């Protein structure tokens, strides 16, 4: 049927309206799309660029250079050396086992090392680089670098590693650094992100540990671009961190080196302190160990050899060791008695070789006795009976108080590990420790530095320095941090009567300069360098009445670990003290025969800045002294005419 013209016109109008509506909708859609595209491409360009960058740009922490440690004369005693290492990042590597397998074809990687790396990869975040190997040779390092395109996620790095140029000489002072352990992290509330880097090293002992926060520095960052396989394409930018602060110690590294050599193979300790400032010029424990072994990774056999050595090379005997001070403690007892007024300098005590207390005899080291002795001669000849008597008169409370006044039973604040407080016992201490009363016999034993009394070599050096000056000299080890000098604290007067101090010093003078003195064999014949000292011999075993009746067994006939400890304290020069020295030789025997000669040589070395002229020694000893010098392995010893300063 044919449509009418009117119907056709109506149909055309409807189609036109629909077309226009559709065209309008298409126009609106196109316009909206255009505006949306402009918004994404222009207005949001930075945001999407950042999102794209995050897929190809990685941020890595840059470990800072650890602060350098120097001696008082700016000689480096703990520094950094260049270290070639290789790391792997799990996120970028993909199949880490396959990558490590390829890597092992290029350089030696023992199976145990590969297993350790695989374990570390599994327990660390995938974005964290894991150290595969360090301290590589240039050949191995360059071989890996050339083959980097075939090793996704593997990065070659050049960093710094700790090194100790003097090796064993300062091991106990400096300590060493080592990788951060889970135990280290567990002790920190808010660990530095640096510490999360595997094998990042921190101080473990000594100055390295105690000044860790200053020495570590702050991390830097670098942004690197990587491709889809994880290969580093380029470094976009780098922001270096802040290097750790440099630290200057009070130690004189040449004197430290000499003391270590002089102690030799003995199980011993020696401390040299500058009496005006309290500066520790040398503080040595022997035998020692090479801290570089711990930095590089000590082997099982090497570590076992150190731990099973009966001379305990890992222990710092200077501050950790606590020994009965023996007759060196008579300086304390003498001053306590003089200050308490229970004895005068000229009063004498009769010594028949023993003192009886109840049914027990307290023996003098000289079986025949010393006869009548006054204060000066009691120190000169180290008469035990004299000190039994004065200790009984003055009492343990005043002896203990004087001991603390002179530095024994006091923990000094130094950046060293496990510093001992020693022990100046009194009645309250024994009651608390053992639940028993203090006995008069305890007082007698304490009066001669036996029984419960304990002192470290550091405390004995402080004791000598305080007697020499009459001031509360405190030891210090750090001279400057980050270039800022640390002024030594003002040492106040001990408040001890100068006449009493002078009397004790005179007794110490006679110990080394009187023919009857116990250390006369270790005298110095140059009046400008004369020593004033005190010998000590402390027992480590009980001597029974039966043994005394048949004769006390000589130290030479006893096993090493049952022999007496040998001790000596001194200051020099006598007329104008500059240094104080203490020496303890474990199981060395007699203080006069073993410790005193060592202390004399150390004091003379400290005063001379090198080998003193042979003329300062007694003529009969000069050939032997020269021969001993030639055997010592020391740093550039000065000529025999002596040096002018510690260089």
Question: Other C-beta atoms within 10 Å of 647: how many?
Answer: 12
Question: Other C-beta atoms within 10 Å of 413: how many?
Answer: 11
Encoded tokens for 381: 């000849």
Helix (H, G, I), strand (E, B) or coil at 99: helix
Q: Is 175 left (phi over 0), alpha (psi -120 to 50) or beta?
A: left
- Spatial neighbors of 58 by CB under 8 A, at least 6 apart, are 89, 92, 127, 223, 224, 226
Distances from the Cα of 387 to the Cαs of 268, 373, 494, in angstroms?
27, 11, 22
Q: Which of 295, 208, 218 is nearest to 247 (CA)?
A: 208
Cα distance between residue 388 and residue 361, in whole Å: 11
Helix (H, G, I), strand (E, B) or coil at 139: helix
327 is catalytic: yes
**Going by DSSP bridges, is the β-strand pair 247-249/69-70 parallel, antiparallel, or unpaired?**
parallel
Cα distance between residue 561 and residue 310, in whole Å: 9
291 with 175: CB under 8 angstroms? yes
Q: Which of 475, 567, 509, 479 is nearest to 273 (CA)?
A: 475
491 with 472: CB under 8 angstroms? yes
208 with 176: CB under 8 angstroms? yes
| CA 161, 162, 165, 169 torsion-angle sign | negative
Cα distance between residue 14 and residue 20, in whole Å: 10
For residue 626, what is the enclosing H or E element? helix 622-631
Cα distance between residue 611 and residue 202, in whole Å: 38
Q: Which of 575, 596, 580, 581 is nearest to 520 (CA)?
A: 596
Q: 161, 285, 327, 382: which one is catalytic?
A: 327
CA angle 549, 364, 557 (to 5 degrees): 55
Distances from the Cα of 233 to the Cαs of 48, 63, 91, 370, in angstroms?
21, 21, 16, 87
Q: Which of 342, 467, 346 is nearest to 398 (CA)?
A: 342
Q: Which residues belong to the active site?
A: 327
């Amino acid at each position: 049927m044919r449509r009418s013209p009117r119907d056709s016109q109506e149909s055309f109008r409807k189609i036109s309206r629909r077309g226009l509506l559709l065209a309008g909708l298409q126009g609106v859609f196109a316009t909206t799309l255009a505006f949306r595209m402009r918004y994404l491409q222009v207005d949001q360009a930075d945001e999407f660029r950042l999102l794209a960058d995050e897929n190809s740009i990685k941020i890595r922490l840059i470990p800072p250079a650890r602060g350098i440690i120097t001696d008082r004369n700016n000689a480096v005693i703990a520094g950094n050396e260049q270290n070639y290492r290789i790391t792997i990042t799990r996120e970028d590597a993909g199949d880490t086992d396959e990558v490590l397998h390829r890597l092992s074809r290029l350089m030696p990687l023992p199976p145990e090392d590969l297993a350790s790396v695989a374990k570390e990869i599994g327990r660390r975040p995938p974005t964290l680089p894991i150290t595969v190997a360090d301290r590589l040779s240039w050949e191995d390092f360059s071989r890996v670098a050339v083959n980097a395109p075939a090793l996704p996620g593997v990065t070659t790095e050049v960093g710094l590693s700790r090194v100790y140029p003097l090796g064993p000489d300062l091991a106990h002072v400096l300590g060493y650094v080592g990788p951060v352990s889970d135990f280290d992290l567990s002790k920190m509330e808010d660990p530095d992100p640096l510490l999360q880097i595997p094998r990042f090293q921190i101080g473990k002992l000594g100055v390295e540990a105690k000044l860790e926060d200053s020495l570590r520095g702050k991390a830097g960052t670098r942004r690197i671009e990587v491709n889809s396989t994880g290969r580093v394409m380029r470094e976009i930018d780098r922001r270096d961190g802040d290097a750790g602060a440099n630290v200057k110690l009070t130690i004189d590294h040449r004197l430290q080196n000499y003391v270590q050599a002089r102690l030799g193979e003995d199980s011993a300790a020696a401390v040299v302190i500058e009496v005006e400032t309290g500066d520790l010029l040398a503080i040595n424990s022997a035998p020692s160990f090479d801290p570089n072994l711990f930095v590089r990774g000590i082997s099982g056999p090497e570590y076992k050899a150190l731990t099973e050595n009966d001379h305990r090379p890992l222990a710092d005997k200077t501050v950790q060791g606590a020994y009965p001070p023996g007759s060196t403690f008579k300086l304390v007892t003498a001053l306590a008695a003089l200050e308490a007024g229970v004895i005068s300098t000229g009063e004498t005590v009769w010594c028949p070789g023993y003192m009886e207390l109840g049914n027990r005899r307290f023996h003098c080291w000289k079986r025949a006795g010393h006869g009548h002795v006054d204060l000066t001669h009691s120190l000169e000849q180290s008469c035990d009976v004299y000190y039994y008597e004065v200790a009984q008169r003055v009492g343990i409370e005043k002896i203990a108080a004087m001991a603390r006044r002179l530095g024994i039973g006091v923990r000094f604040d130094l950046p060293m590990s496990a510093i001992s407080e020693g022990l100046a016992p009194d009645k309250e201490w024994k009651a608390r420790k053992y639940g028993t009363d203090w006995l008069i016999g305890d007082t007698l034993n304490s009066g001669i530095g036996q029984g419960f009394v304990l002192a470290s070599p550091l405390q004995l050096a402080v004791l000598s320095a305080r007697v020499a000056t009459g001031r509360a000299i405190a030891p210090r080890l750090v001279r400057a941090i980050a270039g800022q000098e640390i002024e030594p604290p003002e040492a106040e007067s001990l408040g001890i009567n100068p006449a009493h101090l002078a009397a004790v010093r005179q007794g110490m003078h006679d110990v080394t300069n009187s023919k009857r003195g116990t250390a006369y064999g270790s005298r110095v014949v140059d009046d400008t360098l004369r020593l004033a000292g005190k010998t000590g011999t402390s027992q480590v075993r009980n001597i029974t009445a039966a043994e005394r009746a048949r004769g006390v067994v000589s130290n030479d006939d006893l096993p090493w670990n049952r022999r007496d400890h040998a001790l000596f304290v001194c200051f020099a020069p006598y007329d104008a003290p500059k240094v104080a020295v203490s020496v303890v030789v474990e199981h060395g025997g007699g203080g006069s025969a073993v410790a005193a000669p060592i202390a004399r040589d150390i004091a003379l070395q400290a005063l001379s800045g090198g080998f003193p002229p042979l003329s300062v020694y007694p003529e009969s000893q000069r050939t032997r002294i020269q021969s001993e010098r030639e055997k010592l392995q020391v740093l550039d010893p000065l000529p025999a005419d002596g040096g002018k300063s510690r260089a």
